């Protein structure tokens, strides 16, 4: 964080502290105020596989309404996404209204009856997710959960919410940005969710500060953002995705590294680049949260998001992460061991021109050279593996193969 931003944060924190007063546990002074430590939160046992679903932010941002959410739920059923494993319909920031006289959070006029919306989503075999912040305000300046964590968690449970994305952004106006403060505030909501009486997947968002992958499990969270916000460009997507290979040791069943949502179908990248995102996120493995308008998907977008052979890689029950085998020029060769003993190998071309690649299968271990079968997960074709792969990978593209002994 820059010195300028630290100064602005300290000034804003002093103003908020004076406004909110000590009833919320905010001590005076900008450099000495810290959140009281919270005990570690036990695992909730959820998200044994990377969560799959849809989130409103990438396409709708602050324009999202209850009608849009209903439309996305209907589209997830009609397109086959639900049956392919996409489960969560997640509303990001800007759903929040004011608190009532008793302090209970209420939706704003765009959403109305949140329990009715949850019932609509549940009736279609899907689950509903919401967004909040440990700050008094969210990133978009709507009502946050600070000082109301327990009540908000109980309210979400009463509505029928199944997933909470908790974004640290607004809390920068209350406290200095430290690991200790972030960890304590995330744990505070983790305890509140645990005591709310309804299972809710808990997702943290804070751009990967302070190596959150090392301490995220102690907050009770099931996934945590490891990067700044993604955008619909090759540079943004590839930088965030390939960086996850360095963090693989901290990701697995019930606790997943999250390089942010899918941009597939939003128009900023081409088909090869979107196939790369779907393949890379599945190899890592990472949560698969679509972020496009599901009602207007073209055939190419549907073919990527609904590729069940690639989804099966992401959802493999072993939950083992990908590893980098080698780098050939601009091509990165990644491998992931599957629960059934097969190995998925991805040839990812990060360069701006097509690339020719050769790779000997014996490097995967015994039993793969000569007698294995290879399945191309995008071409949906099987063939004898032979002794090696020889082929071309398009610019910014991928060849994704599954080898079975």
Q: Which of 104, 80, 94, 85 is nearest to 158 (CA)?
A: 104
Cα separation, 362 vs 46, in Å, equals: 37
Structure token pair of residue 137 = 């305000």
Asked if 401 and 375 count as a contact pair (C-beta separation under 8 A), the reply is: yes
Cα separation, 14 vs 307, in Å, equals: 51
DSSP-assigned letter for residue 1: -
**175: which residues sit within 8 A by CB, 6+ positions away?**
13, 33, 34, 35, 181, 185
Among the options 68, 74, 150, 229, which is catalytic?
229
Length of the chain: 405
Distances (CA, A) of 195 to 138, 181, 199, 313: 23, 21, 9, 34
What residue has token string 């969210």? 138
Q: Is 229 a catalytic site residue? A: yes
Q: Is 272 a catalytic site residue? A: no
Q: Which of 285, 283, 286, 243 is nearest to 261 (CA)?
A: 286
Among the options 167, 258, 260, 314, which is catalytic?
167
Distances (CA, A) of 255 to 1, 15, 17, 224, 307: 27, 36, 34, 8, 24
Q: Facing residues of 383 across strands? A: 374
DSSP per position, 209-274? GGGHHHHGGGGT-SEEE-SSPP-SSHHHHHHHHHHGGGGGGG-BTTBEEE-----TTSSSS-HHHH
Residues recognised as catalytic: 167, 229
């Amino acid at each position: 964080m820059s010195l300028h931003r630290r100064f602005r944060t300290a000034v804003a924190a002093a103003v908020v502290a004076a406004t909110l007063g000590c009833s919320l546990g905010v001590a005076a002074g900008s450099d000495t105020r810290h959140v009281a430590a919270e005990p570690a939160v036990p695992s909730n046992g959820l998200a044994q596989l990377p969560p799959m679903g849809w989130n409103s932010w990438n396409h709708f941002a602050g324009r999202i309404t209850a009608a849009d959410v209903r439309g996305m739920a209907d589209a997830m059923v009609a397109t086959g996404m639900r049956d392919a494993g996409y489960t969560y319909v997640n509303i990001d920031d800007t759903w929040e209204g004011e608190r009532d006289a008793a302090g209970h959070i209420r939706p704003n006029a765009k959403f109305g009856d949140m329990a009715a919306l949850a019932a609509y989503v549940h009736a279609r075999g899907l689950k509903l997710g919401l967004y909040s912040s440990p700050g008094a305000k969210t990133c978009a300046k709507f009502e946050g959960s600070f000082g109301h964590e327990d009540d908000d968690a109980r309210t979400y449970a009463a509505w029928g919410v199944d997933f909470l994305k908790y974004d640290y952004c607004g809390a920068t106006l209350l406290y200095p940005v430290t690991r200790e403060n972030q960890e304590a505030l995330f744990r505070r909501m983790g305890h509140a969710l645990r005591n709310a009486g309804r299972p809710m997947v808990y997702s943290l968002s804070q751009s990967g500060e302070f190596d959150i992958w090392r301490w995220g499990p102690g907050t009770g969270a099931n996934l945590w953002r490891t990067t700044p916000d993604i955008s619909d460009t090759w540079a943004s997507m590839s930088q965030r995705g390939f960086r996850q290979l360095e963090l693989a040791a901290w990701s697995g069943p019930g606790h997943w590294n999250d390089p942010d949502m899918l941009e597939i179908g939003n128009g900023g990248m081409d088909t090869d680049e979107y196939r790369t995102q779907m393949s890379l996120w599945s190899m890592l493995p990472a949560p698969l949260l679509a972020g496009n308008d599901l009602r207007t998907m073209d055939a190419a977008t549907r073919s990527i998001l609904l590729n069940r052979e690639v989804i099966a890689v992401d959802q493999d029950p072993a939950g083992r992460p990908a590893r980098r085998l080698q780098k050939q020029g601009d091509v990165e060769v990644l491998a992931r061991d599957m629960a059934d003993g097969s190995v998925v190998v991805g040839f990812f071309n990060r360069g701006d021109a097509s690339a020719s690649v050769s790779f000997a299968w014996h490097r995967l271990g015994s039993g793969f050279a000569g007698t294995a079968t290879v399945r191309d997960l995008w071409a949906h074709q099987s063939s004898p593996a032979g002794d090696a792969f020889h082929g071309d990978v398009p610019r910014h593209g991928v060849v994704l193969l599954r080898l079975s002994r």
